Amino acid sequence: MIADAWIASLPPGLLLILAGVVLPAARGVIRSAVLLLTPLALLAWIWLLPEGQGVSVIWLGLELTPVRVDTLSQLFATVFAIVGFAGGLFALRQGRTAELAAALVYAGASIGVIFAGDLITVFVFWEMMAVASTLVVLAGGTGARAAAQRYIVIHLFGGVLLMAGIAGHVATTGSTAFDLITGDSFARWLILAGFVLNAGAPPLSSWLPDAYPRASWSGTVFLSAFTTKTAVYVLIRGFAGEDILIWLGVIMVFYGIVYAILENDIRRILAYSIVNQVGFMLVGIGIGTEMAVNGAAAHAFAHIIYKALLLMSAGAVLYQTGKSKCTELGGLFRSMPLTTISGIIGALSISAFPLTSGFVSKSMISEGAVQEHLAVLWFLLAAASAGVFLHAGIKFPWFVFFQKDSGLRPPDPPASMRVAMVLLSALCLIIGIVPSLLYSILPYPTDFVPYTAPHVVYQLQLLLFSGLAFFLLLGFLTRTRTITLDTDWLWRKFMPAIGRLLGGLGRWRGWGGARSGLGRFLSGVTHISGPGALLARSWPTGIMAFWATLLLAAYLILYYL
C-alpha cells in the first residue's frame, strides 16, 4: 500500500527524462525501442494513475506535491505522450542523438509541469524545459547557435520573472499549492508574465519564430508541441478568467497572421501560426467559462497534433530537398504525394475545416464568446479564422506543393517518417469525425454539438470565400526573399548599435585634456566587463576557494562582533 502511494507520487515525466539520459548510450534497435516505447509506456502510466494528489513532501519548509492528477492534467499529458511517440517515430533517422536525448528530457520536463501540484515543482520542470529545448534548437547545426543563445536568454529571463513571482506568492499566501491564482498582488503579475512569455505573447514573442525554424527537420516537431502548450496548461490552471488574456490572445492571433502572410520560409510561416493558434487558446482561457476553457484545452490538444503534422510535412520537404523557402519550392506534389496529402490534412485541420480536429475544438472557443455575448470578440475571431485559412490553410500547401514547378523531384521520405505523418493525419480526421472521443476527456463535461447545419454552412462559406480571396489576390501574395522585422530587431540590431556608439564615445580622444567623466566611466566599464576583461575571464578554482574562505572568515568575524 505504501509502495503504491509512492509510485503514485513519482512524477511520470521522470520516465522520459530517464530515457533521455540513457539514450546516448543506446545503439540500433535498443535506441529505437527507447525512443518509441517510453512514450507509449508513459501513456499507459498516465491513464493508470488514480485521480487526486499523491504524497506531499516537505522540502526546506515548503510543501511539494509532485503529482496531482485530474482530467485537465491527463488531457495534456496524453497529447504530449502521443506527439512524443509520433515525433520520435518521425525522428528515427535523425543522426544527432543529442537532439533526441534532449527532446526526451524536454518532453519529460513538460509532463513534469503538467502533473505538478505545487508552484516549486512547476518552476523546477519549467527551467528544465528551457534548458532541454535550447539543446534541441542547438542541435540544428551551426546556423542555430546564435538563435539558441537568444532563445535561452529570453527563457531564463522568463524563469527569473516566474521565480520572483512564485517567491512573492508563497511569501504572502504561505501556500505553495498551484491552483487558480487570485488577488491583485505584484507577485501574481510576475507569475502571469513568466507564463505568457512561454506562450509566445508579445512583446517578446519573436523568440519563437526566431529559434524554432533553426532546429533540424525533426527538432522543430518537438519544439512546436511542448513549450507553448505547457504555458497554455498553466494559464488554464492558474489564470482562467483573467481578462487581459483575451486581448493578449487577440493581438497574438493577428500578429501571427500578418507575419505569416509576409514570410517566405515555410517553417517560419508555421512558427508564426503557432503564435496565432495559441492566441485563440489564450482568448478561451481569458473568457474563462466552462465552455471557453474546454475550448482552449480541446484546441491545444487538436493543435499539438495538426501542428506537429504540418511541421513533419515541412520537415520531410527539408529532409529531402534541403530547402525550406517558398521561393525555392513548388510543384512537389508530383513526386511527394503522401507528404502533400499529409500537409493538406494538417492545413485543413488548422483552418478548422469541417470533419477535421480544428473544427470541433475552435468552435467551442467561439461558442464561449457567443455565450458571454462578446460580440466584438466573436467577429474578430471569425475574421481571424478566415485569416488562418489564408496564411496557413492554403498558403503553406500551395507554395510548397503546387504553385510554379520548381523542377525538384524528391520522392516521399523514408518509411518511418511516412508512418508518423499517416498516424497524425488519421488522428486529425478521427477527432474531426468523432468529436466525442475528445469531448469525453475535457476538463468539464460538455454536450456541445459542433455539427449543426447552420454552423457547418457558415464555416464552409467563411473558408471557401477566403480561399477565393487567396486565389484572386495571388499576385499580391507572391513571396520575395525577405524577412519581416520583429521585436528581436531591438536586441539584434538596435542595442548592439547603441553599444558600439557608447563604446566609441568611451574611446574617443577628443574629450580634451581632462577626459569627461562619462568617457572615463565607459572605458572603465569596458576595462572591467569587456571581452577578455576582469569580469569576463574564467577564474581558476583556487581563487574561487580563496575568496569563499575570505568571505566565510569575514562572516565569522562579523558574527562574533
Partner 1 sequence: MSDPKAGVEKPLPPDHDHWLVRPRTIAVLWIGFAIVLGLTLVPDLLIDHHAEFEIEGTIAFGAWFGFLSCLILVFGSLALGRILKRRDSYYDR
Residues that bind partner 1 (CB under 8 A): 217, 254, 257-258, 261-262, 264-265, 319-322, 331, 333-334, 370, 373, 375, 378-379, 382-387, 389-390, 402, 404-411, 453-454, 457-470, 473, 476-477, 480-485, 492-493
Q: Is 95 or 540 the residue whose CB approaches partner 1 more closely?
A: 95
CB of 77 to partner 1, least distance (A): 33
CB of 406 to partner 1, least distance (A): 8
Q: Nearest CA to 112 among 517, 104, 482, 170?
A: 104
Q: Report how far residue 530's alpha carbon sits from residue 537's, in angstroms, rounded to the nearest whole number.
A: 10
Q: Is 256 or 519 the residue whose CB approaches partner 1 more closely?
A: 256
For residue 288, what are the contacts with CB-CB under 8 A and spacing of at least 6?
240, 241, 242
Q: Is 6 or 458 the residue whose CB approaches partner 1 more closely?
A: 458
Q: Is 150 or 237 the residue whose CB approaches partner 1 more closely?
A: 150
Q: Is 241 or 467 the residue whose CB approaches partner 1 more closely?
A: 467
Taking a C-beta distance cutoff of 8 angstroms, is the pair 19, 102 a contact?
no
Q: Is 485 or 544 the residue whose CB approaches partner 1 more closely?
A: 485
For residue 332, what are the contacts with CB-CB under 8 A and spacing of at least 6?
317, 321, 339, 340, 400, 401, 406, 408, 410
Q: Is 410 or 530 the residue whose CB approaches partner 1 more closely?
A: 410
Q: Report how far residue 307's alpha carbon sits from residue 221's, in angstroms, rounded to the nearest whole number.
A: 8
For residue 143, what are the contacts with CB-CB under 8 A and spacing of at least 6?
214
CB of 202 to partner 1, least distance (A): 14
Which three three-digit cell numbers place residue 17? 527524462
CB of 543 to partner 1, least distance (A): 38
Packed helices 186-198 and 243-262: angle between N→C axes, nearest 10 degrees: 30
For residue 519, what are the contacts with CB-CB under 8 A and spacing of at least 6?
505, 506, 508, 511
CB of 113 to partner 1, least distance (A): 32
CB of 395 to partner 1, least distance (A): 11
Taking a C-beta distance cutoff of 8 angstroms, is the pair 269, 396 a contact?
yes
**Residue 12 in 3-state DSSP?**
coil
Q: Nearest CA to 350 among 359, 337, 340?
A: 359
Distance of CA 92 to the CA centre of its chain: 22
Which three three-digit cell numbers place residue 545? 576557494
Distance of CA 9 to the CA centre of its chain: 27
Q: Is 159 or 413 the residue whose CB approaches partner 1 more closely?
A: 413
CB of 483 to partner 1, least distance (A): 5
Q: Is 48 or 483 the residue whose CB approaches partner 1 more closely?
A: 483
CB of 203 to partner 1, least distance (A): 15
Taking a C-beta distance cutoff of 8 angstroms, is the pair 82, 42 a contact?
no
CB of 168 to partner 1, least distance (A): 37
Euclidean distance between the first and the last CA atom of the chain, given in angstroms as a whole number: 54
